[in-house]
Protein backbone atom coordinates (compact mmCIF):
# COMPACT_ATOMS: atom_id res chain seq x y z
CA UNK A 1 0.00 0.00 0.00
CA UNK A 2 2.99 2.32 0.43
CA UNK A 3 3.06 3.20 -3.27
CA UNK A 4 -0.70 3.43 -3.75
CA UNK A 5 -1.92 6.83 -4.83
CA UNK A 6 -5.56 7.81 -4.32
CA UNK A 7 -6.70 6.45 -7.68
CA UNK A 8 -4.95 3.12 -7.14
CA UNK A 9 -6.42 2.71 -3.66
CA UNK A 10 -9.86 3.61 -5.00
CA UNK A 11 -9.56 0.88 -7.64
CA UNK A 12 -8.47 -1.63 -5.00
CA UNK A 13 -11.60 -0.76 -3.05
CA UNK A 14 -13.77 -1.14 -6.16
CA UNK A 15 -12.25 -4.51 -6.97
CA UNK A 16 -12.68 -5.46 -3.31
CA UNK A 17 -9.10 -6.70 -3.08
CA UNK A 18 -8.72 -4.61 0.05
CA UNK A 19 -11.26 -2.88 2.29
CA UNK A 20 -11.32 0.59 3.88
CA UNK A 21 -11.36 -1.05 7.33
CA UNK A 22 -8.23 -3.09 6.53
CA UNK A 23 -6.47 0.02 5.26
CA UNK A 24 -7.44 1.96 8.37
CA UNK A 25 -6.14 -0.77 10.68
CA UNK A 26 -2.86 -0.87 8.74
CA UNK A 27 -2.64 2.91 8.90
CA UNK A 28 -3.11 3.21 12.65
CA UNK A 29 -0.47 0.54 13.22
CA UNK A 30 1.86 2.60 11.05
CA UNK A 31 1.02 5.80 12.93
CA UNK A 32 1.98 4.03 16.16
CA UNK A 33 5.20 2.79 14.57
CA UNK A 34 6.18 6.30 13.47
CA UNK A 35 4.90 8.11 16.57
CA UNK A 36 8.35 9.69 16.96
CA UNK A 37 7.54 12.01 14.06
CA UNK A 38 4.97 13.65 16.35
CA UNK A 39 2.77 14.27 13.33
CA UNK A 40 -0.59 13.71 15.06
CA UNK A 41 -2.06 15.39 18.14
CA UNK A 42 -5.33 13.43 18.11
CA UNK A 43 -6.27 10.26 16.28
CA UNK A 44 -9.97 9.70 15.66
CA UNK A 45 -10.06 5.90 15.76
CA UNK A 46 -13.69 5.47 16.75
CA UNK A 47 -15.07 8.01 14.30
CA UNK A 48 -12.74 6.83 11.53
CA UNK A 49 -13.74 3.20 11.99
CA UNK A 50 -17.41 4.12 11.61
CA UNK A 51 -16.60 6.04 8.42
CA UNK A 52 -14.50 3.16 7.06
CA UNK A 53 -17.25 0.62 7.76
CA UNK A 54 -19.78 2.83 5.99
CA UNK A 55 -17.47 3.13 2.98
CA UNK A 56 -16.93 -0.63 2.97
CA UNK A 57 -20.67 -1.27 2.81
CA UNK A 58 -21.05 1.19 -0.06
CA UNK A 59 -18.30 -0.51 -2.06
CA UNK A 60 -20.20 -3.81 -1.81
CA UNK A 61 -22.88 -2.25 -4.00
CA UNK A 62 -22.30 -2.22 -7.76
CA UNK A 63 -22.51 1.53 -8.21
CA UNK A 64 -20.13 4.33 -9.02
CA UNK A 65 -18.53 5.98 -6.02
CA UNK A 66 -16.76 9.22 -5.24
CA UNK A 67 -13.03 8.72 -5.75
CA UNK A 68 -12.40 9.83 -2.15
CA UNK A 69 -14.80 7.31 -0.61
CA UNK A 70 -12.88 5.50 2.13
CA UNK A 71 -9.64 7.41 1.50
CA UNK A 72 -7.83 8.27 4.79
CA UNK A 73 -7.24 12.01 5.17
CA UNK A 74 -5.65 14.04 7.98
CA UNK A 75 -6.45 17.58 9.06
CA UNK A 76 -4.17 20.25 10.45
CA UNK A 77 -5.18 20.85 14.05
CA UNK A 78 -6.28 24.36 13.20
CA UNK A 79 -9.32 23.19 11.25
CA UNK A 80 -12.46 22.87 13.37
CA UNK A 81 -14.00 19.41 13.66
CA UNK A 82 -17.34 18.95 15.40
CA UNK A 83 -16.97 16.99 18.61
CA UNK A 84 -13.22 16.42 18.12
CA UNK A 85 -10.73 18.59 19.94
CA UNK A 86 -8.93 21.21 17.90
CA UNK A 87 -5.89 22.48 19.77
CA UNK A 88 -4.19 24.90 17.35
CA UNK A 89 -0.96 23.38 18.67
CA UNK A 90 -1.40 25.46 21.83
CA UNK A 91 -1.86 24.77 25.50
CA UNK A 92 -4.37 27.62 25.52
CA UNK A 93 -6.69 25.45 23.39
CA UNK A 94 -5.63 21.97 24.50
CA UNK A 95 -9.19 21.07 25.56
CA UNK A 96 -11.14 23.05 22.94
CA UNK A 97 -13.86 21.03 21.21
CA UNK A 98 -15.68 22.79 18.33
CA UNK A 99 -19.43 22.49 17.94
CA UNK A 100 -19.32 22.79 14.14
CA UNK A 101 -17.18 21.48 11.32
CA UNK A 102 -15.21 23.88 9.16
CA UNK A 103 -16.64 24.27 5.65
CA UNK A 104 -13.76 22.30 4.12
CA UNK A 105 -14.41 19.46 6.58
CA UNK A 106 -18.05 19.37 5.50
CA UNK A 107 -16.91 19.06 1.88
CA UNK A 108 -14.40 16.34 2.70
CA UNK A 109 -16.94 14.40 4.75
CA UNK A 110 -19.43 14.63 1.87
CA UNK A 111 -17.02 12.60 -0.28
CA UNK A 112 -17.07 9.72 2.20
CA UNK A 113 -13.43 10.14 3.14
CA UNK A 114 -12.11 8.71 6.40
CA UNK A 115 -10.83 11.41 8.76
CA UNK A 116 -7.80 9.82 10.41
CA UNK A 117 -6.96 12.52 12.94
CA UNK A 118 -5.76 16.02 13.73
CA UNK A 119 -2.18 16.85 12.79
CA UNK A 120 0.32 18.81 14.82
CA UNK A 121 1.00 22.45 13.97
CA UNK A 122 3.33 25.24 14.98
CA UNK A 123 1.46 27.02 17.79
CA UNK A 124 -1.45 29.02 16.38
CA UNK A 125 0.21 28.54 12.94
CA UNK A 126 2.56 31.37 13.93
CA UNK A 127 5.86 29.99 12.69
CA UNK A 128 7.66 28.45 9.74
CA UNK A 129 9.79 25.83 11.49
CA UNK A 130 7.19 23.53 13.06
CA UNK A 131 9.28 22.97 16.17
CA UNK A 132 7.28 25.19 18.52
CA UNK A 133 4.09 23.39 19.52
CA UNK A 134 2.60 22.68 22.93
CA UNK A 135 2.67 19.03 21.86
CA UNK A 136 6.31 19.04 20.85
CA UNK A 137 8.20 19.59 17.59
CA UNK A 138 7.20 17.92 14.33
CA UNK A 139 9.99 15.81 12.83
CA UNK A 140 11.10 15.36 9.25
CA UNK A 141 10.59 11.73 8.14
CA UNK A 142 13.80 11.83 6.09
CA UNK A 143 15.83 12.71 9.18
CA UNK A 144 14.13 12.97 12.55
CA UNK A 145 16.80 15.37 13.81
CA UNK A 146 15.53 17.88 11.23
CA UNK A 147 12.45 20.08 11.20
CA UNK A 148 9.35 19.20 9.23
CA UNK A 149 8.74 22.91 8.61
CA UNK A 150 5.74 24.97 9.51
CA UNK A 151 3.27 25.74 10.29
CA UNK A 152 1.61 22.67 8.70
CA UNK A 153 4.53 20.47 9.71
CA UNK A 154 2.46 17.61 11.09
CA UNK A 155 0.41 17.46 7.90
CA UNK A 156 3.44 17.37 5.60
CA UNK A 157 5.34 14.88 7.77
CA UNK A 158 2.33 12.56 8.03
CA UNK A 159 1.71 12.66 4.29
CA UNK A 160 5.36 12.03 3.43
CA UNK A 161 5.58 9.12 5.89
CA UNK A 162 2.44 7.44 4.55
CA UNK A 163 0.46 8.12 7.71
CA UNK A 164 -2.48 9.29 5.58
CA UNK A 165 -3.21 9.58 1.88
CA UNK A 166 -3.62 13.35 1.96
CA UNK A 167 -3.79 16.25 4.41
CA UNK A 168 -5.35 19.66 4.62
CA UNK A 169 -3.03 22.39 5.88
CA UNK A 170 -3.24 26.18 6.01
CA UNK A 171 -0.92 28.72 4.42
CA UNK A 172 -0.42 32.33 5.60
CA UNK A 173 3.14 33.01 4.46
CA UNK A 174 4.06 29.60 3.09
CA UNK A 175 2.78 27.24 5.77
CA UNK A 176 1.62 24.58 3.29
CA UNK A 177 4.50 24.96 0.83
CA UNK A 178 7.41 25.24 3.28
CA UNK A 179 6.83 21.92 5.10
CA UNK A 180 5.81 20.25 1.84
CA UNK A 181 9.13 21.23 0.29
CA UNK A 182 11.14 20.13 3.32
CA UNK A 183 9.31 16.79 3.53
CA UNK A 184 9.29 16.03 -0.19
CA UNK A 185 5.56 16.23 -0.96
CA UNK A 186 3.23 18.33 -3.10
CA UNK A 187 1.55 21.38 -1.55
CA UNK A 188 -0.87 23.87 -3.09
CA UNK A 189 -1.71 27.33 -1.79
CA UNK A 190 -4.79 28.38 -3.84
CA UNK A 191 -5.76 31.86 -4.92
CA UNK A 192 -6.82 33.96 -1.95
CA UNK A 193 -10.56 33.54 -1.39
CA UNK A 194 -10.87 30.49 -3.65
CA UNK A 195 -11.54 28.14 -0.74
CA UNK A 196 -13.96 28.91 2.11
CA UNK A 197 -11.94 29.46 5.31
CA UNK A 198 -14.99 29.43 7.58
CA UNK A 199 -14.36 27.33 10.66
CA UNK A 200 -10.59 27.53 10.46
CA UNK A 201 -8.78 29.36 13.25
CA UNK A 202 -7.43 32.50 11.57
CA UNK A 203 -3.98 34.02 11.88
CA UNK A 204 -4.34 36.72 9.24
CA UNK A 205 -7.65 37.35 7.47
CA UNK A 206 -5.84 38.94 4.53
CA UNK A 207 -3.41 36.10 3.87
CA UNK A 208 -4.78 32.81 5.26
CA UNK A 209 -5.92 30.03 2.98
CA UNK A 210 -6.38 26.28 3.30
CA UNK A 211 -4.59 23.97 0.88
CA UNK A 212 -3.98 20.28 0.12
CA UNK A 213 -0.79 18.32 0.84
CA UNK A 214 -0.30 15.02 -1.00
CA UNK A 215 2.37 12.68 -2.36
CA UNK A 216 1.49 13.21 -6.03
CA UNK A 217 0.26 16.05 -8.22
CA UNK A 218 -2.90 14.21 -9.31
CA UNK A 219 -3.78 13.41 -5.69
CA UNK A 220 -3.35 17.08 -4.88
CA UNK A 221 -5.69 18.08 -7.68
CA UNK A 222 -8.30 15.58 -6.41
CA UNK A 223 -8.26 17.12 -2.93
CA UNK A 224 -8.25 20.64 -4.37
CA UNK A 225 -11.35 19.77 -6.39
CA UNK A 226 -13.05 18.38 -3.28
CA UNK A 227 -12.52 21.46 -1.10
CA UNK A 228 -13.34 23.86 -3.93
CA UNK A 229 -16.56 22.04 -4.81
CA UNK A 230 -15.40 20.95 -8.28
CA UNK A 231 -14.89 17.22 -7.67
CA UNK A 232 -16.93 15.17 -10.13
CA UNK A 233 -17.77 18.13 -12.37
CA UNK A 234 -16.59 18.65 -15.94
CA UNK A 235 -14.55 21.59 -14.66
CA UNK A 236 -12.60 19.57 -12.12
CA UNK A 237 -8.83 19.91 -12.40
CA UNK A 238 -8.23 16.25 -11.57
CA UNK A 239 -10.53 15.11 -14.35
CA UNK A 240 -8.64 17.26 -16.84
CA UNK A 241 -5.32 15.86 -15.62
CA UNK A 242 -6.56 12.29 -16.06
CA UNK A 243 -7.72 13.10 -19.57
CA UNK A 244 -4.54 15.06 -20.27
CA UNK A 245 -2.38 13.22 -22.81
CA UNK A 246 1.18 13.61 -21.57
CA UNK A 247 2.84 15.76 -24.17
CA UNK A 248 5.41 18.48 -24.49
CA UNK A 249 5.08 21.90 -22.91
CA UNK A 250 5.38 23.60 -26.29
CA UNK A 251 2.51 25.95 -25.47
CA UNK A 252 3.86 27.03 -22.08
CA UNK A 253 6.08 29.97 -21.21
CA UNK A 254 7.83 29.82 -17.86
CA UNK A 255 9.37 32.84 -16.17
CA UNK A 256 12.64 32.89 -14.24
CA UNK A 257 13.05 36.00 -12.02
CA UNK A 258 16.18 37.99 -12.81
CA UNK A 259 16.85 38.86 -9.18
CA UNK A 260 16.10 38.02 -5.53
CA UNK A 261 14.68 34.48 -5.96
CA UNK A 262 17.97 32.90 -6.95
CA UNK A 263 20.15 34.89 -4.58
CA UNK A 264 21.35 33.62 -1.16
CA UNK A 265 20.27 30.08 -1.98
CA UNK A 266 21.90 26.85 -0.82
CA UNK A 267 24.09 25.44 -3.59
CA UNK A 268 22.29 22.10 -3.76
CA UNK A 269 18.86 23.71 -3.72
CA UNK A 270 19.77 26.00 -6.59
CA UNK A 271 21.30 23.15 -8.59
CA UNK A 272 18.21 20.95 -8.33
CA UNK A 273 15.85 23.80 -9.24
CA UNK A 274 18.01 24.69 -12.23
CA UNK A 275 17.92 21.01 -13.25
CA UNK A 276 14.12 21.14 -13.09
CA UNK A 277 14.14 24.19 -15.33
CA UNK A 278 16.26 22.25 -17.85
CA UNK A 279 13.67 19.47 -17.78
CA UNK A 280 10.91 22.00 -18.46
CA UNK A 281 12.96 23.28 -21.38
CA UNK A 282 13.52 19.75 -22.70
CA UNK A 283 9.75 19.25 -22.63
CA UNK A 284 9.37 22.22 -24.96
CA UNK A 285 8.61 25.05 -22.55
CA UNK A 286 9.89 28.47 -23.46
CA UNK A 287 12.03 29.85 -20.63
CA UNK A 288 11.93 33.63 -20.27
CA UNK A 289 13.48 36.02 -17.79
CA UNK A 290 10.98 38.12 -15.87
CA UNK A 291 11.62 41.29 -13.93
CA UNK A 292 9.87 41.22 -10.56
CA UNK A 293 12.26 43.63 -8.89
CA UNK A 294 11.15 46.73 -7.02
CA UNK A 295 13.26 49.13 -4.92
CA UNK A 296 11.80 47.72 -1.69
CA UNK A 297 12.40 44.07 -2.62
CA UNK A 298 14.81 43.28 0.21
CA UNK A 299 12.48 44.91 2.74
CA UNK A 300 9.24 43.52 1.28
CA UNK A 301 8.85 40.72 3.83
CA UNK A 302 9.36 43.10 6.76
CA UNK A 303 7.05 45.75 5.29
CA UNK A 304 4.30 43.23 4.56
CA UNK A 305 4.35 42.00 8.16
CA UNK A 306 2.52 45.17 9.20
CA UNK A 307 -0.59 43.52 7.78
CA UNK A 308 -0.44 39.92 8.96
CA UNK A 309 1.12 40.60 12.36
CA UNK A 310 -1.33 43.39 13.16
CA UNK A 311 -4.19 41.09 12.18
CA UNK A 312 -2.72 38.30 14.31
CA UNK A 313 -2.78 40.65 17.29
CA UNK A 314 -6.42 41.60 16.70
CA UNK A 315 -7.36 37.92 16.46
CA UNK A 316 -5.36 36.64 19.45
CA UNK A 317 -4.99 39.65 21.76
CA UNK A 318 -7.31 38.24 24.43
CA UNK A 319 -5.34 35.04 24.97
CA UNK A 320 -1.98 36.80 24.56
CA UNK A 321 -2.86 39.24 27.34
CA UNK A 322 -4.07 36.47 29.62
CA UNK A 323 -0.88 35.36 31.34
CA UNK A 324 -2.71 32.63 33.26
CA UNK A 325 -3.15 30.41 30.20
CA UNK A 326 -0.68 27.99 28.61
CA UNK A 327 0.19 30.05 25.54
CA UNK A 328 3.86 29.63 24.63
CA UNK A 329 6.20 32.51 25.43
CA UNK A 330 7.50 32.88 21.87
CA UNK A 331 4.00 32.86 20.38
CA UNK A 332 2.83 35.37 22.98
CA UNK A 333 5.74 37.65 22.14
CA UNK A 334 4.96 37.54 18.42
CA UNK A 335 1.28 38.27 18.97
CA UNK A 336 1.95 41.23 21.27
CA UNK A 337 4.48 42.59 18.79
CA UNK A 338 1.59 43.04 16.36
CA UNK A 339 0.21 45.83 18.56
CA UNK A 340 3.32 47.91 17.96
CA UNK A 341 2.71 48.61 14.26
CA UNK A 342 1.62 52.13 13.41
CA UNK A 343 -0.99 53.25 10.91
CA UNK A 344 1.57 54.58 8.45
CA UNK A 345 3.31 51.18 8.38
CA UNK A 346 0.03 49.53 7.46
CA UNK A 347 -0.43 52.08 4.67
CA UNK A 348 3.10 51.40 3.39
CA UNK A 349 2.32 47.69 3.36
CA UNK A 350 -0.84 48.29 1.32
CA UNK A 351 1.05 50.50 -1.13
CA UNK A 352 3.75 47.88 -1.54
CA UNK A 353 1.10 45.23 -2.13
CA UNK A 354 -0.34 47.31 -4.98
CA UNK A 355 3.11 47.80 -6.48
CA UNK A 356 3.92 44.07 -6.34
CA UNK A 357 0.50 43.15 -7.72
CA UNK A 358 1.14 45.35 -10.75
CA UNK A 359 4.58 43.75 -11.24
CA UNK A 360 3.20 40.22 -11.16
CA UNK A 361 0.28 41.10 -13.46
CA UNK A 362 2.80 42.45 -15.94
CA UNK A 363 4.84 39.24 -15.69
CA UNK A 364 1.79 37.03 -16.20
CA UNK A 365 1.01 38.90 -19.42
CA UNK A 366 4.04 37.11 -20.89
CA UNK A 367 4.43 33.84 -18.94
CA UNK A 368 2.13 31.08 -17.69
CA UNK A 369 4.01 30.47 -14.45
CA UNK A 370 7.04 31.71 -12.53
CA UNK A 371 9.57 29.13 -11.33
CA UNK A 372 11.58 29.63 -8.12
CA UNK A 373 13.03 27.54 -5.31
CA UNK A 374 10.32 26.95 -2.70
CA UNK A 375 12.73 27.56 0.16
CA UNK A 376 16.39 28.61 -0.16
CA UNK A 377 17.72 26.09 2.37
CA UNK A 378 17.57 22.42 3.31
CA UNK A 379 15.74 21.35 6.44
CA UNK A 380 17.63 22.53 9.53
CA UNK A 381 18.15 20.91 12.93
CA UNK A 382 15.19 20.99 15.30
CA UNK A 383 15.58 24.06 17.50
CA UNK A 384 18.08 25.86 15.26
CA UNK A 385 17.52 29.62 15.10
CA UNK A 386 20.07 30.52 12.42
CA UNK A 387 21.45 29.04 9.21
CA UNK A 388 24.49 29.94 7.13
CA UNK A 389 23.87 30.67 3.44
CA UNK A 390 26.84 31.69 1.29
CA UNK A 391 28.83 32.51 4.41
CA UNK A 392 26.09 34.76 5.79
CA UNK A 393 24.21 33.92 9.01
CA UNK A 394 20.46 34.29 8.62
CA UNK A 395 17.33 33.61 10.64
CA UNK A 396 15.91 30.17 9.83
CA UNK A 397 12.35 31.44 10.19
CA UNK A 398 12.89 34.34 7.78
CA UNK A 399 14.88 32.27 5.30
CA UNK A 400 12.15 29.64 5.05
CA UNK A 401 9.43 32.13 4.05
CA UNK A 402 11.55 34.44 1.88
CA UNK A 403 10.21 33.03 -1.42
CA UNK A 404 6.76 31.89 -0.34
CA UNK A 405 5.19 34.90 1.37
CA UNK A 406 4.68 36.82 -1.90
CA UNK A 407 1.86 34.49 -2.99
CA UNK A 408 -0.07 35.21 0.23
CA UNK A 409 0.71 38.90 0.16
CA UNK A 410 -0.79 39.50 -3.29
CA UNK A 411 -3.17 36.51 -3.31
CA UNK A 412 -1.85 34.43 -6.22
CA UNK A 413 -1.72 30.61 -6.24
CA UNK A 414 1.57 28.98 -5.33
CA UNK A 415 2.51 25.34 -5.53
CA UNK A 416 5.51 23.30 -4.47
CA UNK A 417 6.57 19.88 -5.67
CA UNK A 418 9.72 17.83 -5.09
CA UNK A 419 12.48 18.16 -7.68
CA UNK A 420 15.07 15.86 -6.13
CA UNK A 421 17.15 15.31 -3.02
CA UNK A 422 20.37 16.73 -1.61
CA UNK A 423 23.44 14.55 -1.04
CA UNK A 424 22.36 14.05 2.59
CA UNK A 425 19.01 12.67 1.43
CA UNK A 426 16.86 15.68 2.33
CA UNK A 427 14.17 16.67 -0.21
CA UNK A 428 14.29 19.85 -2.29
CA UNK A 429 11.22 21.63 -3.66
CA UNK A 430 10.56 23.80 -6.69
CA UNK A 431 7.84 26.47 -6.49
CA UNK A 432 5.41 27.37 -9.27
CA UNK A 433 3.64 30.73 -8.96
CA UNK A 434 0.65 31.42 -11.18
CA UNK A 435 -1.84 34.03 -12.25
CA UNK A 436 -4.86 34.57 -10.02
CA UNK A 437 -7.32 31.65 -10.37
CA UNK A 438 -4.95 29.71 -12.66
CA UNK A 439 -4.41 26.70 -10.40
CA UNK A 440 -5.18 24.39 -13.29
CA UNK A 441 -2.20 25.70 -15.25
CA UNK A 442 0.13 25.05 -12.30
CA UNK A 443 -1.20 21.51 -11.92
CA UNK A 444 -0.65 20.75 -15.61
CA UNK A 445 2.93 22.04 -15.53
CA UNK A 446 3.70 20.20 -12.28
CA UNK A 447 2.15 16.99 -13.64
CA UNK A 448 4.53 17.08 -16.61
CA UNK A 449 7.59 17.58 -14.41
CA UNK A 450 6.56 14.85 -11.96
CA UNK A 451 6.02 12.39 -14.81
CA UNK A 452 9.34 13.25 -16.42
CA UNK A 453 11.28 12.84 -13.16
CA UNK A 454 9.35 9.85 -11.73
CA UNK A 455 9.75 11.53 -8.36
CA UNK A 456 6.65 10.12 -6.70
CA UNK A 457 8.45 6.76 -6.39
CA UNK A 458 11.95 8.09 -5.75
CA UNK A 459 10.82 10.09 -2.73
CA UNK A 460 8.58 7.52 -1.07
CA UNK A 461 9.24 6.68 2.58
CA UNK A 462 9.57 3.00 3.47
Q: Are residues 239 and 361 in the same domain?
A: yes
Residue 226 lies in a domain: yes
Residue 55 lies in a domain: yes
Q: Are residues 46 and 56 in the same domain?
A: yes
CA 352, 353, 357, 363: dihedral to nearest 10 degrees? 50
Catalytic residue among 19, 76, 107, 113: 76
- Tally of domains within the chain: 2
- Is 157 catalytic? The answer is no
pLDDT confidence tier of residue 459, bands split at 50, 70 and 90: very low
Q: What are phi and psi of 126, to 5 degrees?
A: -100, 60
DSSP 289-316: EE----TTGGGHHHHHHHHHHHHHHHHH
**Rounded-to-integer distance, Cα 66 and Cα 68, Å:** 5
Q: Are residues 331 and 355 in the same domain?
A: no
- At residue 455, the pLDDT reads 54
Start-end of H helices in 184-229: 217-228
DSSP state letter for 379? P
Q: Are residues 195 and 317 in the same domain?
A: no
Instruction: Choose the final residue of a domain: 340, 360, 395.
Output: 340
Q: Are residues 184 and 328 in the same domain?
A: no
Average pLDDT over the chain, rounded to an integer: 96
Q: 211 near 242, Cβ under 8 Å?
A: no
Q: Are residues 180 and 79 in the same domain?
A: yes
pLDDT at 144 over 60: yes
As a whole number of Å, the CA-based R_g of the chain is 21
Q: 7 near 85, Cβ under 8 Å?
A: no
- At residue 456, the pLDDT reads 46
Residue 1 lies in a domain: no
Catalytic residue among 175, 304, 305, 379: 175
**Rounded-to-integer distance, Cα 437 and Cα 235, Å:** 13
Q: Are residues 185 and 219 in the same domain?
A: yes
Q: 113 near 69, Cβ under 8 Å?
A: yes
Q: Are residues 128 and 41 in the same domain?
A: yes
Residue 115 lies in a domain: yes
CATH of the domain at 202: 3.90.1300.10
Q: Are residues 244 and 279 in the same domain?
A: yes
Q: 182 near 426, Cβ under 8 Å?
A: yes
Catalytic residue among 151, 204, 228, 379: 151
How crowded is the C-beta side of 348, counted as CA atoms within 13 Å? 14
Residue 417 lies in a domain: yes
Q: Name 231's Cβ contacts closer than 8 Å, sequence gap at least 6.
A: 66, 67, 68, 111, 222, 225, 238
- pLDDT tens track for 346-400: 999 999 999 999 999 999 999 999 999 999 999 999 999 999 998 899 999 999 9
Residue 75: which domain range?
A: 6-298+341-458
Judged by DSSP in three states, 385 sits in coil
- pLDDT tens track for 82-130: 999 999 999 999 999 999 999 999 999 999 999 999 999 999 999 999 9
Which run of H or of E encompasses 209? strand 209-214
Q: Are residues 255 and 219 in the same domain?
A: yes
- pLDDT tens track for 241-292: 988 766 679 999 999 999 999 999 999 999 999 999 999 999 999 999 999 9
Q: 427 near 421, Cβ under 8 Å?
A: yes
What pTM did the predictor assign? 0.97
pLDDT (mean) for 148-171:
98
Q: 134 near 41, Cβ under 8 Å?
A: no
Q: Are residues 229 and 150 in the same domain?
A: yes
- Is 151 catalytic? The answer is yes
pLDDT at 162 over 80: yes
Q: Are residues 314 and 383 in the same domain?
A: no
* Percentage of residues of the chain with pLDDT beyond 90: 94
- Is 228 catalytic? The answer is no
**Rounded-to-integer distance, Cα 221 and Cα 210, Å:** 14
Q: Angle, to 10 degrees, between the axis of helix 6-14 and the axis of helix 45-59?
A: 60
Amino acid sequence: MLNFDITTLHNEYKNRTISPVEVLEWLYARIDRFSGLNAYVTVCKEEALQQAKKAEELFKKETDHNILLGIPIGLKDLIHTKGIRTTMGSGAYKDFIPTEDAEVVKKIKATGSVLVGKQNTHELAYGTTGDDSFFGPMKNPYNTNKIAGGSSGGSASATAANLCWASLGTDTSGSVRIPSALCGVVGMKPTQGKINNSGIQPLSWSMDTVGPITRTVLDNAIIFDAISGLLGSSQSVSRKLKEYPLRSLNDKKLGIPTSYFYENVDVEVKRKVMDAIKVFESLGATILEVDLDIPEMDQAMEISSAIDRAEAYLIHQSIANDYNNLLGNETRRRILHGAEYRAYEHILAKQLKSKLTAKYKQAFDTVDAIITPTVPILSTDVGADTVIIDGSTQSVRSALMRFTFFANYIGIPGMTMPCGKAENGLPIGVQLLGHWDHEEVLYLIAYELETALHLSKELSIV
